[in-house]
Structure 1
Amino acid sequence: MKKYKSSIIVGIIFFIIWEVIARIIDAAYILPSPSKILEKAWQLKEILFLVHLPATLLVMSIGLFISIVLGVALAVAMSLSEKVEKAIYPIVVVTQTVPITALAPIFVLWFGYSIWSKVIVTILITFFPITVNVYDGLRSTKREMEELLITYGATKKQVFLKLKLPSSMPYFFSALKVAVPLSVIGAAISEWLGAQSGLGYFSKRMMTQLDGAAVFAPIVILSFVAIILVSIINILENKIVKWRNEV
């Protein structure tokens, strides 16, 4: 708790300032106060938490799972073969140059309002940091260490499992800390541009009704979801990558 004391204090100050400014402006459809947003979230708790939040979490979960599998597979392939790296890496970079807001409507056209149009958007946003970070992690091992293991008779498989894989774990968890918030953004954007359920869809629908508090309520929920998920990743990292704290 002490570790996050400063963040909590800054957060409280931020919300107090926001509350004061919102009350001075007194235009809830433009800038609702935090108290109004929480009140609205409580009023709409059943539809937000029982209908739209599960829909968004499902998109995030599927997209993030596929991104992890795809990203790690590409990173391993590039680390094992220089030819593969030269062929794949530029394509991986190019996928991040096309605006997602331009592609999302196309995916809706191809897949309709099914879950897969939203999952693909989430994958495109999240797989890049996983691929790049894990690839850098696999390359981070010192050549001297690899040569030492080979000298002792280690096979390439053993070098990968005993040296490269453990060395890449901190990079993997760092990638997850980036990918998880991005999966929230990806799911929300895809729902905003074309969906029949989800927090992004609900936020957009409330905008047409000029209900500022209802527009902000899903955003606040998504922010808390991202914070909780990143905190869980931090806990897992501290338990799995214990050796980093001992070095």
Structure 2
Amino acid sequence: MSRKEDLMERRLQDLEAALYSAGRPLTVDEIKPVIKTRSDKVPYKVASALRKRYNARNRALEIVRLQDGRVSMQLKENYDDFVKQFNNKPLLKMGPLKTLSYVAFHQPVDQRQVIADRGSHVYSHLRMMEDMGLIHRERTEERSFIITTTSFYGDYFGFSHNPERSKIQLKQVFRDLKITKLENGTLENLFNGVIEGLDELDELKEGLADSGDGLTQGLPQYAGSSDNGSK
């Protein structure tokens, strides 16, 4: 093996290890130090070579370059239904999930508004979700916080990084799960409510999360605070 081939092999292994351990898509700037390069082009060359290697071996995993330029190691779509039987623990229980849905639907939203609509018990939800990297809180001059979801939230739940687009996708999840509209900060009759105000989705076909992206399904359990109830 030549020095050039040896370098490429080490870079392939390092990128594979980084993508696996990160558990999320990586940017070019994150990949460059991993494979020891300053070039913006080399990470894509290495990712392309790794993708071809995975494809040649007919793996369940694949290497994908996303539209925003990040590189992802992910399960092929045709395995989604198969793995659901193993991934039956939710990332969040219903209480924090309602709070996250509220934030995602209303973002950017003032923390005071979240508390007013959801109740003071959601302080613990917000702290937990911030620790998990699902939301970002930016302090305001009024000594409050403006809350938005993060790119990790989008990656984990299969939503767009564009807040407006992710709201449409979230609405579709509500529709698929037969969840009523957000009202006073809650999801009344969570799985049996009447959908209202979603008529504009009827003509939207592309980019909508399907019912397999249901927010409570197929996600690992968060091992943090036990204050993760149903409110």
TM-score (norm 1): 0.25
Which one has the largest radius of gyration? 1
Higher strand share: 2
Which is richer in helix?
1
The two structures have a TM-score, normalised by structure 2, of: 0.27
